Amino acid sequence: MTRALFIVDVQNDFTEGGALGVDGGDAVAAAISRHLAAHAGDYDLVIASRDWHDADGDNGGHFSPSPDFVDSWPVHCVAGSDGAAYDPGLDTSAVTHHVKKGQGRPAYSLFEGTTDAGETVAELLTAHGVVEVDVTGIATDHCVRASALDAIAHGRRVRVLTDLIAGVAPEPSDAALAEMAHAGAALVSSESGR
């Protein structure tokens, strides 16, 4: 069974102290690193995504001076900035593919990004025969949700590793988990499925 690990947007701007920092973000970065140290060999692909927004313009309405925190947001994860860098607690040495998304436009799902070589996530999964995907990262109620739902839509069996995600707020995060489960994702801890 060919399996991939998704690490969604574990970046400085989404962890504590960042422009859109979530509580528990640093802890998730460290926990994903521990998971990789123990289980990197379980995965044929380890794909990490980053928001990578243009410094100029509003990125298709994604940036706003008066954000609604639904479709528009404060400036975050500007390409090349410290905010767009991976959280220092995330060990990326086992990452096989780095994906950038949101270049000039809104993007939530890891599937909306590409590698520097121009490969899409869908192409990578198909090329490597990936059948199962484990999803980790930030934020449960936004980009984790979108990435997991897209993986299901692309015909993969999906597990959301619930101890390796962090959300913006409890209520929308719980709703996102329920939506992912309803769509077919298994909600499991990182150790329960081994």
Alpha carbon dihedral 148, 154, 157, 158, in 10-degree steps, equals: -10
Looking at residue 119, its amino acid is E
d(CA 153, CA 73) in angstroms, rounded, equals: 26
Q: Is residue 52 within 8 Å of residue 103, measured between CB atoms?
A: yes
Instruction: Output the pLDDT for position 132.
Output: 97
Apex 151 CA angle, 16 and 173, nearest 5 = 40
Render each residue's pLDDT in the chain as its tens digit; 194 residues.
799 999 999 999 999 999 999 999 999 999 999 999 999 999 999 999 999 999 998 999 999 999 999 889 999 999 999 999 999 999 999 999 999 999 999 999 999 999 999 999 999 999 999 999 999 999 999 999 999 999 999 999 999 999 999 999 999 999 999 999 999 999 999 987 55
> Collapsing DSSP states into helix, strand and coil, what is residue 121?
helix
Alpha carbon dihedral 75, 145, 8, 108, in 10-degree steps, equals: -40
Single pTM value for the model: 0.96
Q: Hey, how many other C-beta atoms are within 10 angstroms of the C-beta on 66?
A: 6
Place of tokens 């593919």: 97
Among 126, 177, 143, which Cα is nearest to 52's?
Answer: 143
Looking at residue 79, its amino acid is A
Residues 6+ apart with CB under 8 A from 143: 8, 9, 49, 51, 108, 109, 110, 137
Active site residues: 9, 101, 143
Instruction: Output the pLDDT for position 194.
Output: 52
Instruction: Output the pLDDT for position 1.
Output: 72
Residue 185 burial by Cβ neighbours in a 10 Å radius (0-12, 13-18, 19+): buried
Q: Which helix (H) or strand (E) holds 176?
A: helix 170-183
